[in-house]
Amino acid sequence: EVQLVESGGALVQPGGSLRLSCAASGLTVSHNYMSWLRQAPGKGLEWVAVLYSGGSTYYAESVKGRFTISRDMSNNTIYLQLNSLRAEDTAVYYCASQWQAGEAFDVWGQGTMVTVSS
């Protein structure tokens, strides 16, 4: 069974930092496109960042320069480092893979909540 499990969400003050983790099983993170997406409370879905199998990364303009996506192949895990957090970064963060359906996200984690508030 293919599964993604996120962790690391928390309450953090504006300007603070956090690292989210996404542990994969049933697929190899270094062989697939791995993304982070987010959903603010009561709002729609927003793609945040992608890490391609070749190692290239791309970011949404809203997080560029503040967030960093990375991977640990030995643990089959991807990460999202969130720096300089703002209130508008408050959201459920999902890890997802474009595994077998082209550029559609066919595998999703359960999500982890990040709240930025003083």
Partner 1 sequence: DIQMTQSPSVVSASVGDRVTIACRASQSIDSWLAWYQQKPGKAPKLLIYTASTLETGVPSRFSGSGSGTHFTLTIINLQPEDFATYYCQQATSFPPWTFGQGTKVEIE
The distance of closest approach from Cβ of residue 68 to partner 1 in the complex, given in angstroms and rounded to an integer, is 15
Which residues, numbered 38-77, are part of the site for partner 1 (CB under 8 A)? 44-47, 50, 58, 60-61
- Interface characters, 89-108, with partner 1 (x: CB under 8 A): -----x------xxxxxx-x
What is the total count of residues that contact partner 1 (CB under 8 A)?
20
The distance of closest approach from Cβ of residue 51 to partner 1 in the complex, given in angstroms and rounded to an integer, is 11
Place of tokens 């895990």: 77
Tell me if 110 contacts partner 1 by CB under 8 A: yes
Q: How many residues does the chain have?
A: 118
d(CA 49, CA 35) in angstroms, rounded, equals: 5
Tell me if 2 contacts partner 1 by CB under 8 A: no
User: What are the E-state strand segments in 1-118?
Assistant: 3-7, 11-12, 18-25, 33-39, 45-51, 57-59, 67-72, 77-82, 91-98, 107-108, 112-116
